[in-house]
Structure 1
Amino acid sequence: MAEPIRVVVTGAAGQIAYSLLYSIAKGDVFGKDQPIILVLLDIPPMLPVLDGVVMELQDCALPLLREVIPTDKVEVGFKDIDAAILVGSMPRKEGMERKDLLKANVAIFKTQGAALDKYAKKTVKVLVVGNPANTNCLIASKSAPSIPKENFSCLTRLDHNRASSQVAMRCGVSSDKVKNVIIWGNHSSTQYPDVHHAKVNVHGTETPAYDAVKDETWLRGDFISTVQLRGAAVIKARKLSSAMSAAKAICDHMRDIWFGTKEGEFISMGVYATGNSYGIPEDLIYSFPVEIKNKTWKMVDGLPINDFSRAKMDATAAELVEERDTALDFLSHIFCHLVEDEGKCIYGYTQKVVQL
């Protein structure tokens, strides 16, 4: 059997991680013959909760799970890891403006990026989940200059899955009969779910999604807004965020990185926009259609873009440019540091110190 790989999950005491860790530990992500060492990283007040999570993982008696390491120290959490799933971030609270959320998360993801740079394997695959995911991913990558930029991605697979499911339900088929939907741009309400290049398998025949759905008004209206606002709709109904579907999307994303995408299919990931053929500003993490082979993603280039799509793609790019510039402005004014206080890690920055 293969040597164990080390996988860190941040925010490991949270509800997304609680839905995620079992799937990783039982082999749904990295393979049914791949032993796992799980590293659970969270802030000091959550260590007692992590102890309970460790006990549950032990009680699952999973043969692939060789060790579980709970910690609040980045030098332990990121040491020699093969995969990093960065779920933990400062959540948006009532009355908090988006710029306030960005300011808090710039501090966190600069620290985590620097820790990845210092302690992780240079081959590490980093998936950023914590919101605002695209810009957090950009900051983490910029803070880890020795790790290739293509090793960083952010989660838009949840939006991709939501879009595929909406089309499948509309056509009366199972979700695996829908392929090649695209999420362009930001994991926010400006994202653009695009089905102009999608196919639906109806009674054994692959049909363009527009022809299968037969409702352009819906595809250009309610379909887009449903996907864009789905997270808020789940929170309104559950009074909690979408943990189960987010965990499933994380598994899908990382499994495709590890094992590749199917021939003739592409999926959506937030990746560096450098060298794209779609006119998107380059210094962004932007969601594109990608194909993956040998743990390396390749952007699907040259898809025809109509005027409707162009406007939507540019609008979400404009939001990402604004987020990036705001975040980089904070970085230029804020000294982000990791303080050791009686062995406990505290994330902070000068000007208004935030302890998480």
Structure 2
Amino acid sequence: MMTEEMLIIAKENLQTHTETETEEEELKSLINPLHIWINRASAHICYHLIPLLTNGEIFGMETEISLHLLDRKSCKELLEATVMETQDLASPVLRSVSLHIELDEAFFEADVIILLDDILQETIPSVEDCIHQVTNQCEIYGPLIEKNAKSSVKVVVMGKTFANLKALMLMTHAPSINPQNIVTVTMLLESEAKAMLARKLHMHPAGIKNLLVWGNVSGSSFIDLSKTELYSYDSAIWGPPSFFRPLLDVLFDSEWMRSEFVVALSSLSSWEIHCVGMAPAHTIATVLRYWYQDSPPGEMVSLGVISEGQFGLPEGIVYSMPVRFQNGSWEIFTELEISEKTQEYLQILACDLIREKQVALGEVAEMYPQRRGTRVACNYLMEEDQVFQAEQDLGISTSGQGVALEKDGATIGEETEGFPNELNESKSPEEGNIEELIDGNVEEPIDGRRSS
């Protein structure tokens, strides 16, 4: 077969084969789907999230997406069922869906990463152990994101256990990723508060705007109603669609705000009590839609982001603040004016986050070394008596979830029960053993976030 004629035929065949391969590669390059990775994909929240990601409303009907579902080996059968159901959606924007049970291949070519909770609260003996577990996970995930994901990847952290700290540790262990591309979702708590107010005022919750959540998404947080606006509220005063009434000019039941509103918010923890993932999935989808398509003009959205000293807060912690999404990025509403009392309380809320960071980095051994442990981290922010005075003025503890309502220079507040150093169930995990990141012997509980 080495005749001159056969050599000419072989050369032509090789040239044709090379041209065919080049054409195929060019065609494949035209197909450039958005790669979306979801960890702990066996969770209930993921089941509700997938249809929202594939309906074309978040990324647009012209953008195809490839879904990658990551979880433990023990969840393979459930992941296979989820993959089949996702394919059954027959979504025109879904290019592919795949399951992954090996960490080495995680986040490959990722454009968007959605990190759901990995901590099984029932089995963690102490707050410090929980923090170390979160840190260990980020020491695994961070380098994987750094190595496999695209440099422009957007990371959305959603969870019930030290979500702010997880975002911060990911920034630490994936230093080449822009810190502004790693955020923590706060809107679930914001939506719960809006729904409660809407039921009280007999209006649609979509008409409640600029309700702000400050602080720790999965710990001590502060519901700020001082800037909240009501649109399309059924009252004696009406106006065009742009007309609004300040909430505190309409809602006069201060007793309800001090008691029922605060207590209900601190005990909702909807993921664990009355929800199997619908509301959390919707908030993740909303954050992504705002990120890719901009948030409503003039509207403030609560988001856990890295602090660079805005509002006088300490730098280098992930803190929930009001932001706006525009042109594929977000920016903080730095022009927002806050009172001195609110500023003092925001500093107190930063104490837990600073202490969590110190424990995670090994700078201190205990989260709460004494009964008023959060004050240890606060000392360099304000003096001891200032902290006590701020709490008394605001009427809200440094732990748990609080609401402050400013009107005519006065502040209405209420203290929620419990204090974090007590290791009660509203602040910390129950006793037990820590399970590893990928462990086939652990069942997945219904996902939820820690009660604040």
TM class, shorter-length: 0.7 to 0.9
1:153 is matched with 183
Tell me, in whole angstroms, the C-alpha distance in 2 between the residues paired with 1:261 and 1:173: 22
Higher-strand-fraction structure: 1
Q: How far is the alpha carbon of 1:28 from its aligned partner?
A: 3.5
Asked if 1:68 is matched to 2:97, the reply is: yes
- What's 2:148 paired with? 119
Aligned equivalent of 1:341? none
Indicate which of 248, 267, 272 corresponds to 2:301.
Answer: 267
Classify 1:2/1:168 alpha carbon distance in 2 versus 1 (closer, same or farther; 3 Å): farther
> Separation in 2 of the partners of 1:224 and 1:296?
32
**Are 2:42 and 1:13 aligned?**
yes
> Is residue 2:224 matched to residue 1:197?
no
Distance 1:150 1:234 in 2: 27
1:318 to 326, 351, 370: 351
Task: Please give the alpha-carbon distance, in whole angstroms, between the structure 2 residues aligned to 1:163 and 1:295.
Answer: 27
> Percent identity at matched positions?
27
**Hey, what does 2:282 align to over in structure 1?**
248
Give 1:314's aligned amino acid: Q
CA contact (8 A) 2:185 2:304 kept: yes
Q: CA deviation at 1:76?
A: 2.8
Superposition pairs for residues 1-356 of structure 1, below 5 Å?
3-93=32-122, 96-130=125-159, 131-201=161-231, 202=233, 203-204=238-239, 205-231=243-269, 235=272, 237-238=273-274, 242-276=276-310, 278-329=311-362, 354=436, 356=439
- In structure 2, the CA distance between the partners of 1:35 and 1:258, relative to structure 1 (3 Å rule), is same
Counterpart AA for 2:102: K
- SS at 1:122 equivalent: coil
Q: What is the TM-score when the length of structure 2 is the normalising length?
A: 0.69
Query: Whole-Å Cα distance in 1 between the matches of residues 48 and 363 of structure 2?
Result: 33
Q: Kindly state the Cα deviation for residue 58 of structure 1 after the two structures are TM-superposed.
A: 1.0
The answer to whether the 8 A contact 1:82-1:120 is kept is: yes
| Separation in 2, partners of 1:52, 1:331 | 45
* 1:191/1:228 contact within 8 Å kept: no
Stretches (4+) displaced over 4 A: none
Q: Is contact 1:40–1:77 with CA below 8 Å preserved after alignment? A: no
User: Structure 1: how far apart are the matches of 2:252 and 2:62?
Assistant: 44
Provide closer, same or farther for how the CA distance between residues 322 and 153 of structure 1 changes in structure 2, counting only shifts above 3 A: same
C-alpha contact 1:190 1:315 (8 A) present in aligned 2:
no
Partner SS for 1:281: coil
Q: Structure 1 CA distance, aligned partners of 2:267 and 2:355?
A: 21
Relative to structure 1, is the Cα distance of residues 353 and 90 closer, same or farther in structure 2, using a 3 angstrom cutoff? closer
Give the stretch that moved more between structures: 158-167 or 253-262: 158-167
* 1:188 match: secondary structure: coil
Q: Deviations over 1:206-255 (max 9, x none)?
A: 01111122233433543234333320x663x44xx651111111111111
Q: Which residue of 2 aligns with 1:335?
A: none
Give the Cα–Cα distance (whole angstroms) in 1 for the partners of residues 328 and 206 of structure 2.
Answer: 23
Kept after mapping to 1: 8 A contact 2:110/2:149: yes
Answer yes or no: is the 8 Å Cα contact 1:193–1:227 preserved in 2.
no
SS in 2 for 1:170: helix
**1:281–1:218: structure 2 CA closer, same or farther, 3 Å change rule?**
farther
Label 1:284 to 1:113 Cα distance change in 2 as closer, same or farther (>3 A). same
Whole-angstrom distance in 1 between the partners of 2:291 and 2:354: 27
Amino acid in the other structure paired with 1:190: S
Distance 2:364 2:35 in 1: 30
CA-CA distance at 1:95 after TM superposition = 6.2
For residues 255 and 363 of structure 2, the distance between their equivalents in structure 1, rounded to whole angstroms, comes to 42
Aligned letter for 1:197? K
- For 1:329 and 1:95, locate their aligned partners in 2 and report how far apart those are by CA, in whole Å: 19
Paired AA for residue 158 in structure 1: L
8 Å Cα contact 1:8/1:81 also seen in 2: yes
Distance change >3 Å, CA 331–CA 123, structure 1 → 2: farther
Equivalent residues of 2:124, 2:130 under 8 A apart: no
Q: Which consecutive residues of structure 1, in runs of 5 or more, have no partner in the other structure?
A: 333-351
Q: Deviations over 1:93-143 (max 9, x none)?
A: 156322222111211122111111111111111001132110011101111
Q: Which amino acid aligns with 1:206?
A: F
User: How many angstroms does 1:164 deviate by?
Assistant: 1.9
| Mapped partners of 2:347, 2:263: distance in 1 | 17
The unaligned stretches of length 5 or more in structure 2 are: 1-29, 366-433, 440-452
